[in-house]
């Protein structure tokens, strides 16, 4: 078995991950329990990676989809933590 060639480009870092974060935030308009949001981000990452950015190479799409979803969850978590720390520091 040969490993897929995976190219990381502008799309991955600047468009796909923020798009997944924004789409996941749109799901907050629906009555979905909070514990499902990371799963939603992962599924969106797989969908975007398999059907848009890595069309024609399923294994590269699956591999990069996992990274898209994890990067989106991590980005949201880091931003939320930084924002809460900023707000708490401002109160003190």
Better pLDDT: 66 or 91: 66
The mean per-residue pLDDT over the stretch 55-70 comes to: 90
How many angstroms separate the Cα of 92 from the Cα of each of 15, 23, 79, 82, 86?
37, 34, 20, 16, 10
pLDDT for res 7: 64
The mean per-residue pLDDT over the stretch 31-43 comes to: 95
Percentage above 90 pLDDT, the chain: 64
Q: What b/e string do you get for 63-79 counting C-beta neighbours within 10 Å, with b at 16 or more? A: ebbebbbebbbeebeee
How many angstroms separate the Cα of 62 from the Cα of each of 8, 40, 74?
14, 15, 18
């Amino acid at each position: 078995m040969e490993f897929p060639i995976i190219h990381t480009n502008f799309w991955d870092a600047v468009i796909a991950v923020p798009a997944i974060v924004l789409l996941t935030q749109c799901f907050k308009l629906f009555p979905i329990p909070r514990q499902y949001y990371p799963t939603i981000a992962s599924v969106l990452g797989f969908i975007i990676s398999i059907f848009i950015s890595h069309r024609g190479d399923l294994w590269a799409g699956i591999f990069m989809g996992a990274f898209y979803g994890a990067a989106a969850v991590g980005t949201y978590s880091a931003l939320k933590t930084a924002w809460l720390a900023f707000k708490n520091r401002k109160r003190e």
